[in-house]
Structure 1
Amino acid sequence: MRTVKQQHRAVSAPIADLVTYRALPTESVEHLDPFLFLNHHGPQTYKPNNRGLPFGPHPHRGFETVTFILEGDIMHEDTGGHQSIINAGGIQWMTAGRGLIHAEVSSPEFKRTGGPLEILQLWVNLPAKDKLTEPRYIGLQAPDIPTVSLDEGRVRIHAVSGEWAGQRGAVQPLADIQLATIDFQAGGQLTLPIPAAHTIFFYTIRGRLRVNGEETEALRLTEFNHDGDKLHIEALTDAVLLLGHAQPFLEPIVAYGPFVMNTAAEIQQAYQDYQAGKFGQWRG
């Protein structure tokens, strides 16, 4: 059984009127290679005729964004020509690669009617060999994501990427990144084998859990030692978990603003390329 190294509490980091908790990075943890960043937006309820999400056009290079829509919706557009509106239960997987500009805002319907909103965005690094890969975008609605039901229905794994309990995930990314959201009913239990060399990303979104004998709760990121190959999770209440694991890249990480590369020179080049229009031209 893996032992828990430390628990990290997400910090309040509101963006305009959007309730936001940043789970990674914080003062106690910089990154969990290859997982770089996690913002937890909401939960909150928007009134009718609201302004919606504030993420207008901005560039990225060198990593991937994985967005989990728990409640509400998100409207995506990018300079690669991709457009979508993803609703509750869906995900977005965007490989920024060599660079693009994208916007993530609320749909006109959500801004008109309002309602509950809760969204998580995770940044996952790309290995050096794939930093300048061609950008791509995958937008999936809830029915597009395979679900595995375990423990007499008290545990439901939504297999986003990789493989979970024999179920192939909806996305097969460039690097072997395993990601899932897991819904627990109180009392539900789950045991998973995870290679000891892998970094585990374990973020409790809602509720209270016990993992390998240690209790954790909503808005906490649990960091593990590399000393075992098994996770045992028990739900102390109804709960929702974001769980991932991957082989660490063990490469230099230089992050500045919206770019994540391996050297400072590559960051400087990213800004030059962006300013030269090499990320595409925003139509709006």
Structure 2
Amino acid sequence: MTTQKKVLGVYGAGSEHWVGDGFPVRNLFPSNGVSSEINPFLMLDYAGPSYFDPSKRQHGVGQHPHRGFETVTIAYQGSVSHRDSAGNAGTIYPGDVQWMTAASGVVHEEMHAKEFAEKGGTFEMVQLWVNLPRAVKMSSPRYQGITAEQIPTVTLSASGKARIIAGELNGVKGPAKTFSPVNVFDVELKAGDAAEIALRAGHNAAAVLLKGSVVLNGSQLSGEARIATLGREGENITLVASEDSKLLVLSGEPINEPVASYGPFVMNTQEELVQAFEDYKSGRMGHLA
């Protein structure tokens, strides 16, 4: 017999703000103070849904550095173009995912794709930050541009489904390469659907409701931009939808190491943070042409 993971708490967005001039976001963590319950995940911003008028100028976030973790961008509506100082570049469209490993350090920019900016439209994305273990924080940067066609789907119910971006569900593995065991499932349920999702005991986990209404292991989760954190014990969650619902289900093996973070850098000690700033200022993380 498997047991359900316990719901530890349900929260709304802890803050709302703009990232650059292209991403109006609702932050679900760490602004809610639940980081220890979600380790190895560091941050989640839900951008949009927001309408942008046609523009000759690409909105977004200009060049900025990262070190010590990974950024994962999941596109629902609109498109984003990326380029970085490691020589990687790509554009993601609805259904695509960009998984960038900053590791020892990159400078990158994230801008609305040129064609989206010119036409305008609704923009909706999620950006998730995933911590890296100490042993690989200073490894080489990596970029994974994952198209919708590369992401397998698992049927959960008559009309419910989960796209397996990272990790494994029901024997189906996601395409993202990770440095520690994590699951990232993009879930859609129709009203009346009931689904069970297996998650490993010992992993931290959370369900992020982007929109809809579900009962998660007996707890109500309704509206937009809501998160339920889950305990490490137990091996599954059940979801019963009373409305059409869209969620992200996250789980991962905790990284039991010190965390020292400031702005775009996540390291293990204050000394490493100081070094990160010095390396960025001196150009050792590279430049964008």
TM bucket, shorter chain: over 0.9
1:176 corresponding residue in structure 2? 181
**Preserved contact between residue 62 and residue 131 of structure 1 (Cα < 8 Å):** yes
**Preserved contact between residue 207 and residue 237 of structure 1 (Cα < 8 Å):** yes
Counterpart Cα distance in 2 of 1:52 and 1:209: 37
One of 155, 159, 164 as aligned partner of 2:169: 164
Could you list the per-position Cα deviations for residues 40-69 of structure 1 after superposition, in whole angstroms to 9, with x for gaps in the alignment? 110011111264442111000000001010
1:8 corresponding residue in structure 2? 11
Counterpart Cα distance in 2 of 1:272 and 1:17: 28
One of 83, 92, 115 as aligned partner of 1:86: 92
Counterpart Cα distance in 2 of 1:2 and 1:226: 7
2:230 corresponding residue in structure 1? 224
User: How many corresponding residue pairs?
Assistant: 282
Q: Secondary structure at the match of 2:17?
A: coil
Q: Secondary structure at the match of 1:228?
A: coil
Counterpart Cα distance in 2 of 1:96 and 1:18: 20
**Aligned runs of 1:62-141 on 2, under 5 Å?**
62-141=68-147
Task: Report the alpha carbon displacement of residue 201 of structure 1 after superposing the two structures with TM.
Answer: 2.5
State the percentage of identical aligned residues. 34
Structure 1: state its 5+ residue gaps.
none
**Aligned runs of 1:257-268 on 2, under 5 Å?**
257-268=263-274
Superposed CA RMSD in Å reads: 1.4
Q: Secondary structure at the match of 1:151?
A: coil
One of 133, 143, 151 as aligned partner of 2:157: 151
> Which letter maps to 1:251?
E
Task: Report the alpha carbon displacement of residue 84 of structure 1 after superposing the two structures with TM.
Answer: 0.8
Structure 2: state its 5+ residue gaps.
none
One of 11, 29, 33 as aligned partner of 2:34: 29
Task: Report the alpha carbon displacement of residue 148 of structure 1 after superposing the two structures with TM.
Answer: 1.7
Could you list the per-position Cα deviations for residues 142-164 of structure 1 after superposition, in whole angstroms to 9, with x for gaps in the alignment? 11211122312x11111101112
Counterpart Cα distance in 1 of 2:110 and 2:178: 21
Spell out structure 1 runs of 4+ moving beyond 3 A: 50-53
Counterpart Cα distance in 1 of 2:81 and 2:259: 30
Counterpart Cα distance in 2 of 1:181 and 1:17: 23
> Which letter maps to 1:184?
L
The alignment's TM-score, normalised by the length of structure 1, stands at 0.95
The alignment's TM-score, normalised by the length of structure 2, stands at 0.94
